[in-house]
Structure 1
Amino acid sequence: MNCAHRSPRRRAVTTPAAVALLVLSAAGCSLVGDTDGSLSLSVPKPTAEAARLCRALHKELPKTLEGLKRRTPEPASDLTAAWGDPAIKLRCGVAKPLKLTPGTEHYDPYVNSAEVNGVKWLPEQLDDGYRFTTVLRRAYVEVTVPGKYAPEVNPLVDLASAVEKSVPEGVV
């Protein structure tokens, strides 16, 4: 597996969970196999305010992410975006993660977040890669990164400035 597409830019990552994620991901270029490459992506149904913020974010998203060309998921929406094949997928205006929702089975009041260039993300390991969801922002932004792109945290560097510019800090 060739991981030469990695950007040499400096990455600001903090918290023990983020460091553990980087160590585990750095063990190889791929933690698990490829996904099916599908660009099918469910469109979130956010509040009016979150939808406004997500439309602003959509305009700020990069044309390339970690050297991968931007693609249009189906159905096309200002609330979704994708890069590469298999796709790194972004959905804006998603529901609050269950790990952050009191009263749910998966609630964890001690869950760690990873800060990448000023944006805090909740990392969740998947069968193939990771899902990262912003925390402490007025809209939740979810990014799913297949294991092929390990370390999966890297695309967040390219997304941080767009999120900071478009989705202000605050509690949803």
Structure 2
Amino acid sequence: MSFTIVEQGTARLNRSELAVPGSNPTFLEKAASSPADVIFLDLEDAVAPDDKVQARKNIIQALNDLDWGGRTISIRINGLDTHYMYRDVVDIIEQAGQHLDLIMIPKAGTAADIYALDMLVTQIEDNMKLEKRIGFEMIIETALGMANVNEIAGASKRNESLHFGVADYAAST
């Protein structure tokens, strides 16, 4: 039995989730009026490599300009092992962090991955004087992530949910 007390995260209604590629401004506009409880704006798999920088700009503009109607807004960043991830996190939080609820972390492999991202997000939030704490959703998509799932789940007080990515997991085993 563990006596570690973990701070209670924000309770969020999550009956339905809509995935939207950040590369398509029309889809972003339509998503804002969707009845889904959670809107996840994708910078990873749904965006071609040549479109990733523009997709990030589209998402920042959509977060700032559209009325999301109180829905939970999550951003799936690019993988921690890519050169896109840093700018995804820094640019979006610095320019639109007040409108962001969650960061979805693909291919979470170790607790150190989550800890490193937590440190980066904390520093940006502190620097920007954001009052709202951004939560984390981790996607377990590799054999490494599955082997470390317990440690990943406890790696940050920001952690709100774990997802299992069956297709990428199957490809990794």
TM above 0.5, yes or no, is: no
Instruction: Name the TM-score, length of structure 2 as normaliser.
Output: 0.24
Instruction: Name the TM-score, length of structure 1 as normaliser.
Output: 0.24
Between the two structures, name the one with larger relative contact order (CA 8 Å, sep ≥ 6).
1
Normalized per residue, the structure richer in strand is: 1
Normalized per residue, the structure richer in helix is: 2
